[in-house]
Amino acid sequence: MATLAFNHEEIAARELKPELYDMDGISRASVEAHYKLYQGYVNKRNEILGKLDEVDASAANQVYSELRSLKVDLTFAIGGVKNHEIYFEHLGGAGGAPDGLISDLIERDFGGVEAWRTDLKATGMGARGWAWTAYDWDETRLFNYIGDAQNTFPVWNATPLIALDVYEHAYFLDYQTDRASYIDAFLNNLDWGVVNEWATRYQIQA
Ligand SMILES: [Fe+2]
């Protein structure tokens, strides 16, 4: 029997850092709502890989619709894990103006922090699920990319540095329908030190 998830390992949900429960403008209840969904994505990822292991891929023409739904659901689950891990890791900071490498990149690729902020905010207002500031290795610059769901629309060879969750669970408890105020709160709680750590680790050149 040929399996489709050869040698996969289960992953566990990461712990949240305590700063996340003490943010201005993003309540503990909202963070818990994200975390519950995140745990669900982790479990789903493990479960789907387990199921793929049970499928006989050599008989794929008989089970292709099952394979299709497992593989599509896998992208949603893994997207939900990755997006939220970025979200949790780079919040809990003091917001404000970026410094260091990320500041240089934003200056170069958007012409200034205000232009970047305006563009990210507009992208977040227009998205159904996510807006990302990502470094695109082929374009060799930052873009604010848009996502409607956990698995749409990633761009190959681009690395997300900022992940703005604009699903309803991200803001409804704190702001009801006022998504714009939530985006402001998100920006006010960004930890630029973490974003700079990533930009440095990935060796992005300013
Ligand atoms: Fe979320």
Task: State mean pLDDT over 194-202.
Answer: 98
34: CA distance to ligand 1 center in Å? 4
Angle at 140 between CA 80 and CA 105, to 5 degrees: 85
- Reply yes or no on whether the pLDDT at 1 is more than 70: no
At 156-176, the pLDDT tens digits run: 999 999 999 999 999 999 999
169: CA distance to ligand 1 center in Å? 6
157: CA distance to ligand 1 center in Å? 23
Residue 134: in which H helix or E strand, if any? strand 130-136
Angle at 48 between CA 31 and CA 60, to 5 degrees: 150
- What pTM was estimated for this model as a whole? 0.95
| Helices 168-175, 28-54: inter-axial angle, 10-degree rounding | 160
54: CA distance to ligand 1 center in Å? 30
67: CA distance to ligand 1 center in Å? 27
Alpha helices (H) along 55-167 = 60-89, 100-110, 113-126
Residue 5: the pLDDT is 72
Task: State mean pLDDT over 14-23.
Answer: 97
185: its two tokens? 């709160």
- Banded model confidence at residue 46, pLDDT cuts 50, 70, 90: very high
Task: State mean pLDDT over 82-111.
Answer: 98
